[in-house]
């Protein structure tokens, strides 16, 4: 069963990380030298920045990248640099052709590029083992979000990467072909939200915890809140400047369904300074919601995970997630960050999104 699930996982990874055959992502944080020949003694002919993609130029010869996998091969990986065993790969980077060391690259495309408006000035990441392209930009300021007592702690942190060949956990070594990168926070294993921002946040990293609707538990990294149909969920930073999420279930005629109609869960956000029901921003499409409330609640619930104030305008910003199951063993989780913006519909705009794939590898 484990082999079958790993095969399913690898087939899914091939759809995104391996979208372009024989591509390698440079994971050396200071960049990676390209050399004239397959040896550290040969001339440096250029440098490839972190996150850039190089493409294998040749698959002939014993030292030009035969091992396009996440497995150590004693026949090929005979070179040791900085304690890492690997081999030399003949690659091209734009018009530059040469050799790079395999110990500092990962097969596939693993770093997402910025897009206009979304994932531009803000990014969102989940620390820990990664199984898909990462929404990371080293030029941004990165903060870990944690909740303690009555405060939201936005801690500026350093992000580094542990690659599959340096895993110490024996169990994770067995899954290195599925999760070849581990995001470390200040050099340690940690599971939390990571927010990347173009501008540094306020010096006051300890913020008063946002308030939420009375009687509800406060959402956390691993425990979100589902908004039920007909429910209006209030949240905010200070009284008098509240926002709310509103869920509904719409019924439409559908001659192709067994009972002649279809139920669709919808969710939107707005501010209380606008007339109730007016100027609401529909979040349904951005969360990939497309079924009834009962189905969403059971299989892929959109959840509110975090409320805080990133841009200092005293209106609440928030993180939500939703999941899409593909079969009994696998699916994807989508995380979105909405920032308050008085000029936008509903008072909010989408600034960052990140998708992770999950597999039941038990």
The CA distance from 341 to 311, in Å, is 9
The CA distance from 362 to 1, in Å, is 9
Mean pLDDT by 10 residues, the chain (362 residues): 39 46 88 93 95 80 46 67 87 94 91 86 91 89 80 85 83 76 92 90 60 75 83 85 87 70 84 65 84 55 87 89 72 88 92 78 46
pLDDT of residue 66: 41
Per the document, the length of the chain is 362
pLDDT of residue 158: 94
pLDDT of residue 258: 66
Is the four-CA dihedral 72, 74, 79, 80 of positive or negative sign?
positive
Q: Give the ranges where the chain is alpha helix by DSSP (H).
A: 2-16, 170-173, 293-299
How big is the CA angle at 288 (ends 282 and 294), to the nearest 5 degrees? 90
Nearest to 341 by CA among 265, 251, 281, 255: 281
pLDDT of residue 18: 44
The pTM assigned to this predicted structure is: 0.82
First to last CA, the chain: 9
The dotted CATH code for 18-107 is: 2.30.30.40
CA atoms within 13 A on the CB side of 182: 20
Q: Give the ranges where 89-211 is alpha helix by DSSP (H).
A: 170-173
């Amino acid at each position: 069963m484990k082999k079958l699930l790993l095969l399913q996982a690898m087939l899914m990874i091939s759809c995104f990380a391996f979208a372009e055959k024989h591509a390698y992502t440079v994971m050396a944080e200071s960049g990676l030298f390209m050399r004239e020949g397959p040896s550290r003694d040969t001339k440096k002919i250029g440098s490839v920045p972190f996150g850039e993609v190089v493409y294998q130029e040749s698959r002939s010869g014993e030292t030009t990248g035969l091992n396009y996998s996440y497995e150590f091969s004693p026949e090929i990986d005979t070179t040791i640099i900085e304690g890492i065993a690997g081999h030399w790969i003949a690659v091209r980077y734009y018009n530059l052709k040469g050799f790079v060391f395999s110990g500092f690259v990962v097969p596939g495309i693993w770093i997402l590029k910025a897009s206009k408006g979304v994932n531009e000035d803000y990014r969102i990441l989940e620390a820990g083992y990664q199984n898909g392209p990462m929404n990371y930009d080293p030029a941004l300021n990165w903060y870990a979000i944690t909740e303690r007592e009555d405060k939201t702690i936005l801690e500026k942190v350093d992000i580094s990467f542990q690659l599959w060949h340096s895993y110490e956990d024996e169990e994770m070594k067995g899954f290195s072909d599925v999760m070849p990168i581990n995001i470390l926070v200040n050099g340690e294993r940690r599971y939390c939200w990571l927010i990347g921002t173009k501008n540094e946040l306020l010096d006051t990293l300890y913020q008063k915890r946002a308030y939420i609707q009375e009687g509800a538990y406060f959402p956390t990294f691993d425990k979100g809140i589902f908004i039920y149909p007909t429910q209006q969920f209030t949240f905010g930073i200070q009284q008098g400047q509240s926002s709310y999420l509103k869920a509904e279930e719409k019924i439409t005629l559908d001659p192709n369904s067994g009972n002649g109609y279809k139920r669709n869960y919808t969710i939107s956000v707005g501010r209380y300074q606008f007339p109730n029901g007016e100027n609401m921003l529909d979040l349904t499409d951005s969360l990939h919601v497309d079924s009834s409330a009962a189905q969403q609640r059971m299989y892929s619930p959109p959840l509110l995970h975090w409320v805080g104030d990133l841009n200092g305008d005293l209106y609440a910003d928030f993180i939500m997630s939703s999941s899409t199951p593909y079969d009994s063993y696998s699916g994807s989780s989508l995380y979105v960050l909405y920032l308050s913006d008085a000029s936008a519909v509903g008072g909010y705009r989408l600034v960052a999104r990140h998708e992770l794939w999950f597999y039941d590898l038990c």
